[in-house]
């Protein structure tokens, strides 16, 4: 009886359509991980999974992890212990650990968290459809943390959430080996995507309504292909029609050259903003960190950037309490911070990472000392941020309307080209409009203004 067969087919079709499995991804760490989670989302969606924001409704939960400091790892360990409860309630739940911790701590995870089903390093996400299938059929673990020498996701398009900014990863890995840093071990060697594939992805982002593109890489300006280096790539992306703003992160000071600054100066859609990680102000510590520049070379670079782009906003990363750092050497960091006047800074206590060179140094600084140095640094930088922001009072800034202000439904929030948030009263503009705002006040890390008529 053909009707019966047909109706049975219909029922199973409906079941397939309505019983889509759900995934939940939680992302820790840097923007590279945000981008990678979007790649993972694409893979899961291709395997018939649907995104959910409710973790207790998920059939598969993935944590995309970070190993940069001990605290980042602790957070994930705690999260996994909590998720064990969900797993006990639902043994079919797939629990996956992705990213830098998976790469770095797979043995530790296998031993201490045997209820984790999947451990995939940053170069293994292409295996997700295959592993989902095999995990659904057999109850097997899957571990793959092999790092690749080649770009592995060139043709894979990430599943992005709507918004203003789209991240585009342009290179992976790091060959710099700063002595404190785990990234070269978790992410492997440097490799770059082709200019064409990045330009294609940029066009796609524009057609989907993104206004801002942020080019990403652990060492973004080491980008290198037979068809060009970072300045050429930046020029090509800036020439894509419809790209309103371009940012990039994180560059290494050593690889910022005249060509790059020239391209930035010549393209009005490349934001006048550079993240310039200092790490420390003392030459001896910089050398011990293997940062490849001296304090003077860093200061000269700042001057050069400001010659090319006097309004360029600068941010930085600083580590306090690197092994062997004396009080005087720490004071040199404060001096550089004072002299440069960064618009903002990410400031960290040194965290020993097993496997790195600095973890073997015998002169580790105690926790209280690190804490007290961090507090001094934060106090100074807060003041510097306010001074830099107050300098903008009276200027007119280009701002994209990004979202409603958290404090009032009568106000918008948006960022300047320099990447500082501005709060301003609503008039007749809409979300995503690019408008001019006169800055009237600066408080904390935020600017306040009024739309220019």
Q: Which positions touch ligand F3S (CB under 6 A)? A: 29-30, 32-33, 66-68, 99-100, 182-183, 186-187, 218
C-alpha closest to that of 44 among 126, 166, 118, 167? 126
- What is the smallest separation between the CB atom of 216 and ligand SF4, expressed in angstroms? 12
Q: How far is CA 105 from the centre of its chain?
A: 21
In this chain, which of 39, 97, 164, 319 binds ligand SAH, going by CB under 6 A?
A: 319
Question: Contacts with ligand SAH: how many residues (CB under 6 A)?
Answer: 17
Instruction: Identify which of residues 84 and 357 has a Cβ nearer to ligand SF4 in the complex.
Output: 357
Instruction: Identify which of residues 343 and 351 has a Cβ nearer to ligand SAH in the complex.
Output: 351
C-alpha neighbours within 13 Å on the C-beta side of residue 113: 24
Is residue 176 at the binding interface for ligand SF4, with CB under 6 A as the rule? yes
Return the residues of window 243-302 that contact ligand SF4 according to CB under 6 A: 252
The listed partner (ligand F3S, ligand SF4, ligand SAH, none) that binds 44, CB under 5 to 8 Å by sort, is none
Instruction: Identify which of residues 157 and 177 has a Cβ nearer to ligand SF4 in the complex.
Output: 177
Q: How far is CA 12 from the centre of its chain?
A: 42
- What is the smallest separation between the CB atom of 221 and ligand SAH, expressed in angstroms? 10
- What is the smallest separation between the CB atom of 95 and ligand SF4, expressed in angstroms? 28
- What is the smallest separation between the CB atom of 410 and ligand F3S, expressed in angstroms? 37
- What is the smallest separation between the CB atom of 158 and ligand F3S, expressed in angstroms? 16
Q: How far apart are CA 262 and CA 239, in angstroms?
A: 15
Instruction: Identify which of residues 278 and 340 has a Cβ nearer to ligand SF4 in the complex.
Output: 278
Return the residues of window 217-246 that contact ligand SF4 according to CB under 6 A: 218-219
User: Quick one: which segment of 171-179, 337-345, 393-401, 422-430 binds ligand SF4 (CB under 6 A)?
Assistant: 171-179
User: Quick one: which segment of 69-77, 149-157, 180-188, 333-341 binds ligand SF4 (CB under 6 A)?
Assistant: 180-188
In this chain, which of 128, 181, 220, 347 binds ligand SF4, going by CB under 6 A?
A: 181
**CB 318 within 8 Å of CB 337:** yes
Block residue for tokens 């002169």: 363
Structural tokens at position 27: 């992302």
User: Quick one: which segment of 96-104, 124-132, 175-183, 377-385 binds ligand SAH (CB under 6 A)?
Assistant: 175-183
In this chain, which of 99, 121, 158, 184 binds ligand SF4, going by CB under 6 A?
A: 184
Is residue 370 at the binding interface for ligand SAH, with CB under 6 A as the rule? no
Q: How far apart are CA 170 and CA 429, in angstroms?
A: 34
Structural tokens at position 21: 């499995």
Using alpha carbons only, how large is the chain's radius of gyration in Å?
24
The listed partner (ligand SAH, ligand SF4, ligand F3S, none) that binds 67, CB under 5 to 8 Å by sort, is ligand F3S
Is residue 247 at the binding interface for ligand SAH, with CB under 6 A as the rule? no
- What is the smallest separation between the CB atom of 349 and ligand SF4, expressed in angstroms? 15
Return the residues of window 250-279 that contact ligand SAH according to CB under 6 A: 250, 252, 277, 279
Is residue 177 at the binding interface for ligand SF4, with CB under 6 A as the rule? yes
The listed partner (ligand SF4, ligand F3S, ligand SAH, none) that binds 351, CB under 5 to 8 Å by sort, is ligand SAH
The contact set with ligand SF4 (CB under 6 A) reads 174, 176-178, 181, 183-184, 218-219, 252
Positions touching ligand SAH (CB under 6 A) are 68-69, 180-181, 183, 218-219, 250, 252, 277, 279, 317, 319, 348, 350-351, 353
């Amino acid at each position: 009886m053909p009707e019966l067969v047909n109706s049975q087919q219909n029922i199973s079709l409906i079941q397939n359509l309505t019983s889509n499995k759900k995934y939940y991804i939680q992302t820790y760490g840097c923007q590279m991980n945000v981008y990678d989670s979007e790649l993972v989302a694409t893979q899961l969606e291709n395997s018939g999974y649907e995104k959910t924001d409710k973790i207790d409704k998920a059939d598969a939960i993935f944590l995309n992890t970070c190993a940069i400091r001990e605290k980042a790892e602790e957070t994930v360990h705690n999260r996994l212990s909590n998720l064990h409860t969900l797993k006990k309630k639902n043994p079919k739940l797939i629990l996956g650990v992705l990213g830098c911790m998976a790469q770095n701590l797979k043995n530790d995870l296998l031993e201490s968290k045997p209820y984790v089903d999947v451990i995939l390093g940053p170069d293994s996400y292409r295996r997700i459809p295959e592993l989902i299938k095999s995990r659904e059929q057999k109850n097997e673990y899957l571990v793959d943390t092999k790092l690749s020498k080649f770009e592995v996701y060139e043709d894979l398009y990430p599943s992005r959430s709507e918004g203003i900014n789209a991240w585009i990863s342009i290179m992976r890995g790091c060959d710099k080996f700063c002595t404190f840093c785990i990234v070269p071990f978790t992410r492997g060697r440097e490799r770059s995507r082709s200019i064409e594939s990045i330009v294609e992805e940029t066009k796609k982002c524009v057609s989907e309504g993104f206004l801002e593109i942020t080019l990403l890489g652990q060492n973004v300006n080491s980008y290198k292909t037979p068809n060009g280096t970072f300045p050429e790539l930046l020029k090509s992306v800036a020439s894509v029609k419809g790209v309103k703003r371009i940012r990039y992160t994180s560059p290494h000071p050593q690889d910022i050259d005249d060509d790059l600054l020239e391209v930035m100066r010549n393209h009005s859609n490349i934001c006048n903003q550079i993240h310039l990680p200092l790490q420390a102000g003392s030459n001896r510590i910089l050398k011990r960190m293997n940062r490849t520049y001296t304090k003077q070379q860093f200061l000269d670079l700042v001057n050069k950037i400001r010659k090319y782009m006097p309004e360029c906003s600068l941010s930085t990363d600083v580590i306090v309490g690197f092994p062997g750092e004396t009080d005087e050497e720490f004071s040199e960091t404060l001096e550089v911070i004072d002299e440069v006047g960064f618009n903002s800074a990410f400031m960290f206590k040194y965290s020993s990472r097993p496997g790195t060179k600095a973890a073997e140094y015998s002169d580790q600084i105690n926790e209280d000392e690190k804490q007290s140095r961090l507090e001094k640094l934060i106090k100074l930088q807060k003041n510097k941020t306010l001074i830099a922001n107050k300098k903008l009072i009276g200027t007119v800034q280009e701002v994209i309307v990004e979202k409603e202000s958290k404090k009032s439904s009568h106000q918008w929030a948006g960022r300047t080209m320099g990447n500082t948030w501005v709060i301003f009263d609503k008039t007749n503009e809409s979300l995503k409009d690019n408008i001019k705002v006169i800055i009237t006040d600066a408080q904390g890390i935020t600017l306040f203004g009024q739309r220019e008529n």
